[in-house]
Structure 1
């Protein structure tokens, strides 16, 4: 699935004291994937794993937050198989054969569902996470503001052995006075279920915090009978038809500005 003539790229964009970095690189080599799977105690990892891809938002003082594939995978449950499907056993067996292993494949979440919300950066200074009732003003975000920088970075994707798709990507847009980021995990097991985990991050210039909202939506395909099947492959379209299971709102408080000596 390699794109011909693919060039790795790294873009930086300055926003006040912040630097937004979007790095895109080649798919991870299979030997590196195998080593990582072993380290994570998982029988296999996504077919297309972009281990060097990252979207990072870093303050001049060193603290910040980034979104990367490896940390997203670390939040996958490697202990249990959360989706039992008719074909799961057969699927696991075919995987076991293809990897020349005759050992019993451990149960694990083969859909790679992750509740990853980003990785906090910083040594001495770090962002403090607290619960909040404050919400991201989605209406405000609908206002047609000039977009000064936009980038989307794919972290991983897997076709679940032709039984659907599991993928996570992150995109950011920077406006003159704010930035908004959406990281979306989208999982569809054909004929079984669809799940979307979204992490939204919003910061208004000059404020001493960011808002982060995490949500989980999922529905069994059997409960989506009224929804045209054509929408099942489009995360943006299907999201509004899925049942909201969880919303978690957090305030990411920025460390106090260091007085200049």
Structure 2
């Protein structure tokens, strides 16, 4: 059985959320799309009460250990895949930002060295967190899923077939222009075909004239199987090693294929029917 439903709703935080869902075999797949996280508390009187009721901004302040957030965070942009067994795979910006380091040595922009040389007596300012918001987030799983390493690979020949697309969405979870020195963006795409579903979660970083980085998580599930293949790939290169002008690196798809692979791992997410 398969059906597609659309819904527009206003939640308690006064977010207008547009949703769409599809029933695909034992999977209920849905996504929500909404607006940007406010830059200040929107319900101060409510958030100051001691009853665990907080606006989205205060939730992020309490949950995250970083001094500030990306320019654009979409707290209600969520992709959810729920199996009839109770297993659930979820992609959301809050869990992704929890993977940002608060103690990493910061990447310097290309103009920093020239600035320091022109001001030899100036104290070098240190960043105490990863201002690029680099994250190795691979999705959020519940306890109905068992993760095991595997040598099985995603069959990309299946993905190349020109089958009918039953369901598709591309969600931005967060984005930051790094004070006009590049781009840091996390997005997730879902594609449902007649015999499988496929997800691409991509973190893309470009620090102009310094560094390009990509963390990609792919999930692939054939409809009649009891597991999901998850492949995580980390790629990175110094900008000077790419022999590409910055103008040709505006979009992730333009440059990711040229980045050397630093790390790759493949896992099986097995649906646990016994827990």
Counterpart selection for 1:72 from 76, 80, 96: 96
1:79 Cα deviation after fit: 1.1
| Residues 229/87 of structure 1: CA separation in 2 closer, same or farther (3 Å cut) | closer
> What is the TM-score with the length of structure 2 in the denominator?
0.80
- Cα deviation 1:91-117 (Å, max 9, x = unaligned): xxxxxxxxxxxxx97510000000000
Contact 2:106-2:128 within 8 A present in 1 as well:
no
- 2:151 aligned partner: 133
Counterpart CA distance in 2 for 1:133 and 1:146 is 29
| Pairwise CA RMSD | 2.4
Counterpart CA distance in 1 for 2:105 and 2:187 is 23
1:25 Cα deviation after fit: 0.9
Counterpart selection for 2:255 from 235, 238, 249: 238
- 2:271 aligned partner: 254
Matches of residues 1-261 of structure 1 in structure 2 within 5 Å? 8-31=17-40, 32-33=56-57, 36-37=60-61, 39-86=63-110, 107-121=128-142, 126-225=144-243, 227-256=244-273
- 1:94 aligned partner: none
1:248 Cα deviation after fit: 0.9
| Residues 207/129 of structure 1: CA separation in 2 closer, same or farther (3 Å cut) | same
Contact 2:110-2:208 within 8 A present in 1 as well:
no
Counterpart CA distance in 2 for 1:41 and 1:228 is 35
Contact 1:211-1:252 within 8 A present in 2 as well:
yes
Residue ranges of structure 1 left out of the alignment (5+ in a row) = 1-5, 90-103
1:251 Cα deviation after fit: 0.5
Match of 2:255, SS state, is helix
Counterpart CA distance in 1 for 2:68 and 2:133 is 10
| Residues 34/246 of structure 1: CA separation in 2 closer, same or farther (3 Å cut) | same
Q: Which has the larger radius of gyration?
A: 2
- Cα deviation 1:153-186 (Å, max 9, x = unaligned): 1100000011111010101100001000001111
| Residues 24/80 of structure 1: CA separation in 2 closer, same or farther (3 Å cut) | same
> What is the TM-score with the length of structure 1 in the denominator?
0.84
Contact 1:81-1:110 within 8 A present in 2 as well:
no
1:121 Cα deviation after fit: 2.8
Aligned residues: 237
Match of 2:109, SS state, is coil
